[in-house]
Chain A
């Protein structure tokens, strides 16, 4: 049961990253791949119908974590207090920048909201990547099941830990590059004309950069938490997901050169999914590692809620998951065509 729920939470978080990841990437590239007002609206119209539903995966994943592993929510959310509020405020900025931009027709208004959307979309993967970095590095969890962590200290990963150190900042930047490449593939797939051409060029630059940064990031993780790789070696699931990630990024590179936009997008999605799943397979059963003493770490069996309630949750999940997939398919069918630049004066994003 603990393993099942661990994987449900892991898959939901990975899906959130894959889905909202392309929104982040599109927003981070927004100012560069779209220059004229019509092109900016084209980018917004491409992500517009999706971002809200994508963000729901974060809420559904958080809710599932609360049902199944309440101690992890309690420790993680309250001990990363200020960082969590930063994420919240930037999420607000992203949504407002995207949705309110085209409500007023004035170049200054639109520039302001373009920059807001860009800043928020670029910051969110950095913050969420740094959060993953913290989970990988470990936090000073003690016997109470809580910890206190300053926002930053000396930027070293041993003693006097901070939320931000060289490692977590690197994971944040890595996440930004990864979502930007993914977002470029999304825009190349979903748009037409100049925006598509620029998104394809961005993808051709970003994917090789990502491919080079990936081993560097892996080495950095080795330096910070060598035990992770000892566990990884013995786990077939980890190898399978690693294979998925490798196949995904290679397919994305190959397809991006041939301008096969859909395959490139699916490739970067598979890479994100495979990488996160491989990480989950390596860290299992630890959900939040303690740097003080391994016995204080929050593990899936240790932090799990009693089984009786989880059986009920499994029942409604079996009903809800197919429903959410149906909605996703309906949404994809409604928006199955590429988004052209909107006509002058039209209503919409």
Chain B
């Protein structure tokens, strides 16, 4: 209880997990919005703009919560991990500062234009704003992943005389093999999240008989993007990530797979519970030889087990690491199946009427969130006990003057603040989904950019769902 390292890790883990619920949607959604806007520009069909308008509102809410929960993470480098920052700041500070300079300035400059500016600028400029947000969010993701990749597999650094780490090769730092593999894996996963959310909203509207034009579009784009992206998450991006773990973090791979003994023809545990004290996986269903193939490309390749490594080098929580990894991989496989069926039905033109599969799509939107959290948990637990793999132990990185009680106190504070943020978010997103796509308004004449808008006609309440009663509704 009074070990500050535990509380620092819990705080960072909790605040980072909560934060990443939002960017994982905004990054993927930014791509899908740019596609919708581009299609709208190309075909001139209103339904693309209607769908984009709805998703931009969802994007705006997610972006806001992402911004305000992201800043605490940057602060924690200094407040909770001061020794780590002092040693590695001259390396990781580059990507953290570059995220602000190259990504955040871009995003913040065009966000208001994207969210509120559709009627002030031409369709082309509004499309350009969506592309700017797509570039900004994906750049932002890159700088964070490059920072994390340094912690997973440091490259491009050198040890200075005063014991700090210095950036030596800029490109080998930001474009390390680990950074590229991790980035592609992570970004493909953000598209999966956005596709599942888009398809789920489309499925809900289709089942409820609401906004059929936009619902069909959501289902189409969600199913196709989801099918492509969920396969990309597994292969080649997940596969290359796994091979890097096998090569550079063999002890983490052994723990993720619950492999205790070394040897060739290593089997893959599909299911089973690791029993660390007994050194085995209980009730295992194992496919022989597959782990050797997945990790090293050959059945005969030796895959080392945990007992091959000194116990101090084991990740401290083998069980959680094992479960997190298996949840990620299992859900990832299920998501491919869900989206392949959906894409097939869509291709045959039957998805909109396939009520059974619409239910599946509507209810499976949490799956990518859970898989993503589990994947990050596996990556970060697998890195332990290192804060920078092979260079610096996690317990060497904490702030020397911060007591465990202070961190527990601020963690509880975050729990309260984030509960309130989460409730606000759910309430406002529910309101948006209930209202559906904001109705199209004609583009203004040039020169009338800031003229007061005409009052919107009161829309008929959508059928099939009771009109929201009382004054607690958004003005449209």
Contact = CB atoms under 8 A, between A and B. Distances in A.
Bound pair (A, B): yes
Interface of A: 48-49, 52-53, 55-56, 59-60, 62-68, 70-71, 73-79, 81-82, 84-85, 88-89, 91-92, 95-96, 99-100, 103-106, 109, 144-148, 305-306, 308-310, 312-313, 315-317, 320-321, 323-324, 327-328, 330-331, 334-335, 337, 340, 342-349
Contact of A103 (B96, B109, B428): B428
A323 B75 CA distance: 25
A63 B162 CA distance: 21
Given A78-B82, A96-B64, A320 B98 contact: yes
Nearest to A313: B94
A92 B421 contact: yes
Contacts of B177: none
B447 to A, nearest CB: 12
A144 B87 CA distance: 14
Contacts of B75: 62, 77, 84-85, 88
Contacts of A344: 455
A66 B96 CA distance: 9
A327 B106 contact: yes
Q: Tell me which of B109, B413, B421, B471 has the highest count of chain A C-beta atoms within 10 A of its own C-beta.
A: B109
A78 B399 contact: yes
Interface stretch (B66-74, B178-186, B202-210): B66-74
From DSSP, what is the main secondary structure of chain A's interface residues? Answer: helix
Interface residues of B, number: 80
Contacts of B454: 343
A63 B147 CA distance: 12
A328 B106 CA distance: 9
B438 A78 contact: no
Interface of B: 61, 64, 67-69, 71-72, 74-75, 77-80, 82-83, 85-94, 96-102, 104-109, 111-113, 116-117, 120-121, 158, 160, 162, 164, 166-168, 170, 399-402, 406, 409-410, 413, 417, 421, 424, 428, 431, 438, 449-450, 452-456, 471-476
Contact of A70 (B93, B402, B472): B93
B89 A73 contact: yes
Nearest to A103: B428
Given A59-B104, A60-B101, A66-B78, A312 B421 contact: no
Contacts of B456: 345
Given A66-B77, A74-B82, A88-B75, A323 B101 contact: yes
B164 A305 contact: yes
B406 to A, nearest CB: 6
A144 B438 contact: no
Given A104-B472, A308-B168, A73 B112 contact: no
A305 B67 contact: no
Given A63-B100, A100-B428, A312 B167 contact: yes
A312 to B, nearest CB: 5
